[in-house]
A and B are shown apart, each in its own frame.
Chain A
Amino acid sequence: MLRAFFASGLVVAAVGLTANPAFAETPVEVLAALKAEASGTPGFQGFSAEHGESFFKTKHSHNLSCSTCHTDNPAAQGKHSETDKLIKPLAPAANEERFTDMKKVAKWFKRNCNDVLDRECTPQEKGDVLSYLLTVKK
């Protein structure tokens, strides 16, 4: 009996180790959540990948843009502007972990928008940027 118990434990552990990393959300689901949020804003007409790209590459406050750290090619590895710490690619096509956890997405948008724009980004801006990132090929 005990042996069977341990054996089943081993099977569970083995399955846990071999299963694909379980992501909480997909980037498309994250985009849908941003859309639901943006829909509440008067005059919302959907997201624009084109606007997202220009927002991503435009310098805002402190001479910083998203691309300062994430580079002009979000499928490439980036570098922290102060510490040179390597940053994994941001585009989901190049990094399957990106935009798969709503909490993480919210946290980093908040933090990085505060650094780059001295304010939080609007749902429109976030959705535009994610729409752009989803168009980036590996």
Chain B
Amino acid sequence: MLLKVKNLTRMFAVVVLIMGATMPVAHADDDEDEGRQPAVSNAKWVSECGACHVAYPPRYLPAESWRAIMSGLDKHFGSNAGLDAASANEITAFLEKNADTRKHETLAKPLLRITETRWFKSEHREVAAHNWKNPKVKSRANCGACHTKAESGDFNEDNVKIPK
């Protein structure tokens, strides 16, 4: 009898495990999945990209955008952010591997700014103009102004706090 109960418990555990692994996690809408994806990381990417700005997660731009950014680091948004070849190659590979793979409209030139993607604009449509102009926000590149856990790659809406 005891053995039977044990077996049943074990079977139940296995079923729950399988369900967890195969069932899609329910989300409100596709776009909001972004903040909940596990954050991928790479030490070089954190130390190099993350020195001057939030190390923007690879999933926010498609691979062709990352390639364009990484091949133009000598003119990186007004600054020469050139890297040694080994670091640049490692970071490019990491970005490409984890890039946004959703289908995008084909553009003549790949977007270089996350803030110009349709996804970004749609996600931030409720943010009022005066919030963007707040000196505490200063730039759309300053994710951490509102996304309090941006540094750890967490862009979950629940952790957003728009400064007053």
A residues apposed to B, CB below 8 Å: 80, 82-85, 111, 114-115
Contacts and interface: CB of A to CB of B under 8 A. Distances in A.
The 8 A-B pairs at the shortest CB distance, nearest first, are namely: A83-B53, A84-B142, A83-B141, A114-B80, A85-B53, A83-B142, A84-B138, A80-B52
A115 B51 CA distance: 15
A129 B153 CA distance: 35
A82 B141 contact: yes
Contacts of B82: 111
Contacts of B139: 82-84
Interface string B64-96: 000000000000011111100000000000000
Given A80-B53, A85-B53, A115 B142 contact: no
A114 B77 CA distance: 14
Contacts of B78: 82
A115 B74 CA distance: 12
Given A83-B53, A84-B138, 19 more contacts: A82-B52, A82-B77, A82-B78, A82-B139, A83-B54, A83-B138, A83-B141, A84-B142, A84-B144, A84-B145, A85-B52, A85-B53, A85-B142, A111-B79, A111-B80, A111-B81, A114-B79, A114-B80, A115-B79
Contacts of A85: 50-54, 142, 144
Interface of B: 50-54, 77-82, 138-139, 141-142, 144-145
Contacts of A82: 52-53, 77-78, 139, 141
Contacts of A111: 79-82
Nearest to A80: B52
A115 B144 contact: no
Contact of B80 (A80, A83, A84, A115): A115
9 contacts: A80-B53, A82-B52, A82-B53, A82-B139, A83-B54, A83-B138, A85-B50, A85-B51, A115-B80
Contacts of B77: 82
Nearest to B48: A107
A82 B138 CA distance: 8
A84 B53 CA distance: 8
B159 to A, nearest CB: 18
B120 to A, nearest CB: 16
Contacts of B138: 83-84
Contacts of B51: 85
B133 to A, nearest CB: 14
Contacts of A84: 138-139, 142, 144-145
A115 B144 CA distance: 23
Contacts of A115: 79-80
Nearest to B82: A111
Contacts of B53: 80, 82-83, 85
A98 to B, nearest CB: 13
